[in-house]
Structure 1
Amino acid sequence: MNNILSNINSQNFPIEQISIKNAKNWSCNISQSALIIIDNFDDLCTFNNQTNLNNRFPKQLKFLVYVDEFQTDNFINMNLPQKLSYFYGNIAFFQYLMIKTIYQTISLFTIKWFLPHNCNKPFAIQENYFDLITRRWKWDTDLMDINYHNFYGCTLQVGLLSNFRDFGYKDKFDRKIKGSLVSLYKIIGEKGNFKPNYLILDPDTNSTFILDKYSRNLLDVFIDIKSVAVTSHHVTTTFNQIEIIFMITPSQKYTNFEKMVMPFDRITWIFLAVTFLIAFFVIFFVNRLSFRYQVMIYGEGVKMPALNIVRTFFGIGQARLPFSNFPRIILIFFVYFCLVIRTAYQGVSYYMLTNDIRRPAITQIKDLFENNYTVCTINSAVFTTALKRMVENGSKISSENFPIEQISIKNPKNWSYKINQSALIIVKRFNELYTFNHRTILNNRFPKLLKFLVYVDDFLTENAVYLDLQQKLSSYHGDIACFEYIMVRNNYQTVSLLTIDWYTPESCNNPIASRINLFDLLSRTWTLKIDSMTKKFHNFHECTLLVGSFYKYLKYAFKDKIDGKIKGSLVSLFKILGEKSNFIPSYQLLDEDSSSNLKKDSKFRLNVFIEIKSVGVTTHHVTTTFSQIDMIFMITPSQKYTNFEKMVMPFDCLTWIFLFTTFFAAFFVIFFVNRLSMKYQVILYGEGVKMPAFNIVGTFFGIGQTRLPMSNFPRMILIFFVYFCLVIRTAYQGVSYYMLTNDLRRPVITQIKDLLENNYTIYTISPKEFVVPLRQMIENGTK
């Protein structure tokens, strides 16, 4: 999905939720088919089949079940039939639609009803879906079960039993559906591809008799409003801390003619039309007066005032300028008026013609129904590419040029090397702590300070992680002086090493409290914060540490045993360990064969040791996910351009040089021709033209000429120059107007080396904390 309409206001987008709170209360008498919507997968256990399964229960039953995102399809396929196995004796046929939604909201547009007994037009379903790559709607029969059929062209009797008077159902047989459930009925009717014939039953009357009568003879679909709750959905409340994505078709593009009319609203166009109508009416009236009044108003020698108005409006200039004061004052005001209107129009129209301007997007659910839209929900794994595109289009970040490096221990049980003071162990999965073979490494040669950096799933609470981690590491207390851990709730298998805080070594006497700078999502500023998870950690502020690196593969470009210049793909890791941890590194690269040097250096010299042999360094791409949750890249906003820079930016350097060269050549020709005789000046300039240099400046700015040439050659030169100036002026005014009216910023960080050079810090946060900023980013991201 290359683009997502990002101007949806969630507060004005009340996607309605239909759920059965007490499934065991579904003891109503229904004829042929029923739709049961269950919020939680475990609620199937509470479905009271003893009271519902009788001769009056529907022969065709369909379950629409909410399942958690982390539950697999196999888990559902194994458990759902088992829970529904006791229905087989009483129900002729049942199916279920597994909706993996993220919030407690379902798109009822995907509901497929069973084939009724009174309809002879079954059609196989072809579900339309939105192609994320081509941005087109396609048809696919694999999304839904092909055994489902539409009621296309059929009329079904839909019975509605309401127990609440505030829904507005006053009559027993009221075909006008009112109240908050109107959207539900419209979905059942329009989106289900059948014509509903609603029958509203009042529960205060003898509903049992009416229900039995109509359910046995007329009703095809029945909905018990008594056991259905309707609530409004807002994206501020989450379900399992994962985002929901609304997908709607892209709005239609404006035509070029519409773009040419759109720069001004209707009132402005009426104002312009009235202004010119008044001007032409005044000219028509003055032409009926005597010549003395015409000279007083137009000026002496002006014979085509209407043509002069049109020429001035389009910036061509006047055939002859007036000499008296009154018409000059009128002309000056009209020239400035036309200049303002022309500049504003050219600026807005240039922006609209060069951009993909679309019609207003859907912001109300009623617009979805009126325009026959289909709303779907997709999981965050499908949304990964869309989030990457949004980041690229919103802040100009290219994932191909943003290689966030991933550092992970493939086999923790192989960490049996001898390290002196401290070690950092990165575990990719929380359950891999069970495989950590501590019996082989916990000896006198193992570090006394041990720190674990553990990946955890987002649905695990901090208390559960802490208790489980403490239990798993309880056997280490006898051999390790102290251990701490950082719980990283990130979404991909990637860790931000910028947050690593090391212990105070024995060789450093000035430890300070760890102060972590955090990016505030709302104020978009950097603030200092002491992390509650790492209060006991200290930075090596102004300390010099000896960092030993034991490597195996020569492809990292480590050719010397002791090489102070870090090269290869691990350079960012060492720069992070050095610069971002606030200590001065002194790297020592140890060859795999130099086991004696390792023993010697690890006992007496090294403060921090990194084993390159069991550390895999890969390039991170946002197409692979961890637990199907999104990762968020946060960088500080780039600086704004000044107004002077915006005025220069419409053209590049070569264009400015071309313009200056053109005018320099024109002035040089004028300077040369002025040295010739009057005969040659008349040939080139035209008769009566006395200020050619001023005419060039006036034509370029759209002011016009004081006197136009009469001969053909200078007129042809003037026409070409007028068109050249018109093109340059239009392009400059359009781009400069867009730049001056928008918040343009300098290029943002696209390389990890730029992050390190500019002293940036990257953090990852859980989606639960990012819901509100993500919504604001979606609403304001296109600008």
Structure 2
Amino acid sequence: MRLLYKLLLLMLINLLSSQAENSFSSLGSFKTLSNAVVKVIEDVWGDDQKSVNFIISINNPENIYVSSIVSDIMLQSSLNPTVGYHVETIEYLKIKQKLPKLSAIVVIETFEDFTNFNKILTSDLISFSSYQGDILLLFLNGELTELNEIFNILWKKQVYNVNAIYEGTNEIVEVKTFFPFKVNNCSDTTPTLINVFENDEFKNDLENFFPDKMKNLKKCTIRVGTSNSSIPYVFASKLPNGTYELSGRDISLIRTLSELLNFEIEFAYVGEEGHLIENGSSSGALKMLLEGKVDLIISDFWLKANRMKFIDNCIPYISQHIAFVIPPGAEFTAFEKYFKPLDSYTWIGLSVVFMSAFLVIYIFEKLPKVHRNFLIGENIKEPYLNVLVAVYGGSQHKLPDRNFARSLLMVFLMFCLVMRTIYTGSLYRYLQAPITHSEAQSIDDMLERDFKFYTVSSILDLLQGQDRINKRLVLFPPDRRNEIINEINTNPNFKGALFRSLTGILYYNQLNYNKTQSMICKEMFMMFHVVIYVPKDFYLKEAINQKIQILIASGLIEFWHKSIIDQRFRRIEEDDEPESIKLDFWSIHSQINT
């Protein structure tokens, strides 16, 4: 199908060429311009195997001059298999309003033609990003006197990766662009000559045909919004003059970016990160960004899908866990600790041994005296009491006369002695240690204990599809967070858990190292990504992304992040209580004795 399309395209081009053949001799000057454009297509876009949007922004696209140069450009460049085309007219785009986000050549004769193109120019039509696509304005009637105004209009739309190409005097083709950032001028749209095409070659290398205009902002100011609800990622210390001195992981990041891209920072410090919901309602730093009061915001903002309708984001620069703050396990009572040295199976086994002893005594008490005296002894009047005395370590005032009865009693006494010694040692450890019931270890464990889940509204969109949790959700205002954390930390019987970033919990524990600290459930809820939010089609987004990738690869952002927290304050409780004596121990002990 693609081959058929190309054949039809070539046939159409040949037809247009043949129709224009008689008149093209009078348009010889266009040949130099078309050759220059073909050179750009082949050397700038062809090497990257890009496709090109060919947009005819002329009131009369069938004009012989237009058809001649367009057909000549496409005929020559069609021989290059690495370049594909999408040929559209303005009238068609007014209906379609969509193109692949590719590079574009816009054919223009007059300023009115550009105005028509500008009316439909959106980031959906053509990529504004210098790292995805480029725009080449092809002027058919030489340099337009309104070129400065054209560049100014494009810059206001944050379209900057654009060049204008036209034929000047003496059949010399010129290429101009604008550099918005200059010393003491941060919106300069003055046309600047960057290349010329003469004698079938460009004077300057085409590797930088579209210059990187964002690598140096010449100390221009970028307004950065941040909030005071982002500790430990943003710290603010109020100075005597009423201003704030900012520090923290996110402040280190934005200041490093300012050094790499050479821009000045103007901080706008607001009270809260804020919210941005489906209907566009917003508050805090997010509202400042939407209203254009800042150029970007950074304050440990989580990447959320519902915000993408209104704003854009740079690539994530760190990932963190959302964890649960859980109540500590309740301490065992003194009575419970008496039973902890042995596990339940051992208690059952011992009970069976003692009950068997009493049962044997009972049976032999009913038998003839000869049998009773053989097993228990004639001189033993209270055998039940002797068993209890042996269990609790009392003295045996009378021993059986017969050797068999004495041997049997000695074995039982030895067993009781070993059992008492082990139990006493294990009991001492339990009585000395602050042993508690185990904390909740997983989400399922919390659900089984009938926990409620406490959170602020900003996390609700991350809980979509979590029906088990949503049924038990309790919303609270941010100013009650410390109150709820304190209740969870100090009340072992509290039936609830709090959503919070793992780093936030660790920082809280670090601040309260000599006080009650937060317990962390072993099972994390989810991983979230932290981003810088920017306006839609923000001109600096891709430049910031490039530098963030470098900082991530260098490990510098991870270093800033880890330097916030001393990992010793990560209280994820392990089961470190003294281990109860199990039945396996008794089997090993019996093997040693034998």
Judging by fraction of residues, say which structure has more helix.
2
Asked which structure has the greater CA Rg, the reply is 2
The verdict on a shared fold, with TM-score over 0.5 as the criterion, is no
Query: Could you tell me the TM-score, scaled by structure 2's length?
Result: 0.30
